[in-house]
Amino acid sequence: MKALTIRQPWAGAIAHQTKRVENRTWKLPAKHEGARILIHAGAQPDRNAQVYGPHLGVYSAVVAVATVTGCHYSEDGTCCGPWGFENAYHWTLDDVIALPEPVPAKGALGFWTPTDEVVNAALRQETGVAS
């Protein structure tokens, strides 16, 4: 299972709000389409973001599990509601499950492979099995 690091507040908006698109400058690699991934809140916030909420205080931790369902490029950003950026690839997400307890982990750029301990801790919460 792969993880994707996303800066706050975007990781929190995916986990706890209605954000179901991740904006990227690069196209989703085909091998990740349809994959279940961990959503990791990066160590640093996106200082240009203007989204606020109590779920934004989590950094350097896995906060959700999601399925990447597709990718398309958008020039105007209107196709994905208020979350879609202009001139960006929109990676669509579905079946998002916020984790009740964030799982601490050091992230990386792009897709990365978390340790078995991190994956297992996240999946136990996703399926409701106690740790």
Phi then psi for 94, rounded to 5 degrees? -150, 170
Mean pLDDT, residues 85-102: 96
Amino acid in the structure at residue 6: I
List of domains in the chain: 2-126 (2.30.130.30)
Whether the CB-CB separation of 64 and 100 falls below 8 Å is answered with: no
Q: Cα–Cα distance between 1 and 66 in angstroms, integer?
A: 11
Residue 17: is its pLDDT beyond 50? Answer: yes
pLDDT for the residue numbered 128: 72
pLDDT for the residue numbered 131: 38
Q: Cα–Cα distance between 83 and 131 in angstroms, integer?
A: 34
Kind and range of the H or E run holding 10: helix 10-16
Mean pLDDT, residues 79-91: 95
The mean pLDDT of the chain is: 92
pLDDT for the residue numbered 53: 62
